[in-house]
Amino acid sequence: MKAISTTEFRHKQKYYLDLAKTERIIIQRGRSDAFAIIPLEDMDETEYLLSSPANAERLRTAISKIASGHDRGTSLKIDDLWK
């Protein structure tokens, strides 16, 4: 793992994005904010879907509606997508 400042990241973005393929990169912004750079393929699907607060809320609302019986969801065959 490598920790760097936002200034360092701005100056060498390509280098750190390439490095993130093999090593976790932590960008420290100020004293209290820190962010990790990892390749998208390393994130699991659930983590990715919940990474956006707005999307996470939509998913929670949909799950709640289905659980309470207000919505039955939908059934879709993959072949029907292209018709």
pLDDT tens by residue, the chain, 83 residues:
889 999 999 999 999 999 999 988 999 988 888 888 988 887 777 777 888 899 889 888 888 887 787 877 677 677 776 76
pLDDT at 68: 82
Put simply, whether the predicted model's pTM sits higher than 0.85 gets the answer: no
Query: Taken in order 5, 2, 42, 56, is the CA torsion positive or negative?
Result: negative
Exposure pattern of 5-24 as b/e (b: 16+ CB <10 Å)?
eeeebeeeeeebeeebeeee
DSSP states of 20-65 as a string?
TTTS-EEEEETTTEEEEE--GGGS-HHHHHHSSHHHHHHHHHHHHH
